[in-house]
Amino acid sequence: MSQTLTEGARKGTVDGSSTPSSKRWWILSIIGIAQLMVVLDATIVNIALPSAQADLGFSDGNRQWIVTAYSLAFASLLLLGGRIADLFGRKPAFLIGIAGFAGASVLGGASTSFGMLVTARALQGVFGALLAPAALSLLNTTFTDAKERAKAFSVYGAIAGAGGAVGLLLGGVLTDALDWRWTLFVNLVFAVVAFAGGWVLLSNHRDAANSKLDLPGTLLVSSGLFALVYGFSNAETHDWSSPQTWGFLAAGGILLSAFAWWQTRAEHPLLPMRVLLDRNRAASFVTVLITGAGMFGVFLFLTYYLQLNLGFSPTKTGVAFLPMMAALMVMAQVSTTVLVPRIGPKVVIPAGFAIAVGGMAWLTGIGVASDFSTAVLPPLLLIGAGLGIVMPPAMSLATSGIAAEDAGVASATVNTMQQVGGSIGTALLNTLAASAATSYLAGKDATSKLVQAQATIESYTTAFWWSAGFFAAGAVIAFLLYRRGTLDADPDAVRAVHM
269-288 pLDDT, tens digit per residue, is 777 777 777 788 888 889 98
Residue 183, pLDDT above cutoff 80: yes
- Percentage of the chain beyond pLDDT 90 is 16
Pair 422, 430: CB distance under 8 Å: no
pLDDT for position 357: 95
- pLDDT of 2 strictly over 60: no
Cα–Cα distance, 107 to 119 (Å, whole number): 9
How far, in Å, are 313, 445, 452, 455, 456 from residue 449 at the CA level?
Answer: 20, 9, 5, 10, 11
Mean pLDDT of the chain, nearest integer: 80
Per-state percent for the chain, helix, strand, coil, to nearest 5:
80, 0, 20
Q: What is the pLDDT of residue 487?
A: 60
pLDDT (average), residues 216-231: 85
Higher per-residue confidence, 48 vs 479: 479
Q: What pLDDT score was predicted for residue 359?
A: 93
User: Measured on CA atoms in the order 112, 128, 64, 166, is the torsion positive or negative?
Assistant: negative
Answer whether 404's CB lies under 8 Å from 4's CB.
yes
DSSP code, position 2 = -
| Tens digits of residue pLDDT in 146-160 | 677 777 777 777 777
Express as a percent the part of the chain with pLDDT over 70: 87
Q: Which residues contact 265 (CB under 8 A, 6 or more apart)?
A: none
SS (H, E, C) 453-499: HHHHHHHHHHHHHHHHHHHHHHHHHHHHHCCCCCCCCCHHHHHHHCC
Tell me: pLDDT of 176 over 70: yes
Averaged pLDDT for residues 368-392: 90
pLDDT average, residue stretch 73-89: 81
Residue 496: pLDDT band with limits 50, 70, 90:
very low
Please determine, for residue 37, whether its predicted confidence score (pLDDT) is greater than 80.
yes
Distance CA 304, CA 235 (A): 20
Q: Is the pLDDT of residue 353 over 90?
A: yes
From CA 46, how far away is CA 151, in angstroms rounded? 31
Least confident of 7-16, 91-100, 120-129, 132-141: 7-16
Stated as kind and residue range, the H or E segment containing 218 is: helix 215-237
pLDDT of 489:
43
- As a whole number of angstroms, the distance between CA 366 and CA 375 comes to 6
Give the pLDDT of residue 8: 39
- What per-residue confidence (pLDDT) applies to 416? 81
126 in Cβ contact with 73 (< 8 Å):
yes
| Architecture of the domain whose range is 3-204+270-497 | Up-down Bundle (1.20)
Q: Nearest-CA neighbor of 396 among 474, 493, 284, 481?
A: 284
pLDDT digits (tens, 9 = 90+) for 245-277: 888 889 988 998 998 888 888 777 777 777 777
> Residue 460 pLDDT more than 60?
yes
- Whether 361 has a pLDDT exceeding 90, the answer reads yes
pLDDT band of 389, cuts 50, 70, 90: very high
pLDDT reading at 3 higher than 60: no
Contact (Cβ atoms closer than 8 angstroms) between residue 349 and residue 336: no
149: part of which helix (H) or strand (E)? helix 146-177
Helix (H) or strand (E) holding 295: helix 279-304
What DSSP state is assigned to residue 42? Answer: T
Domain ranges of the chain: 3-204+270-497, 214-267
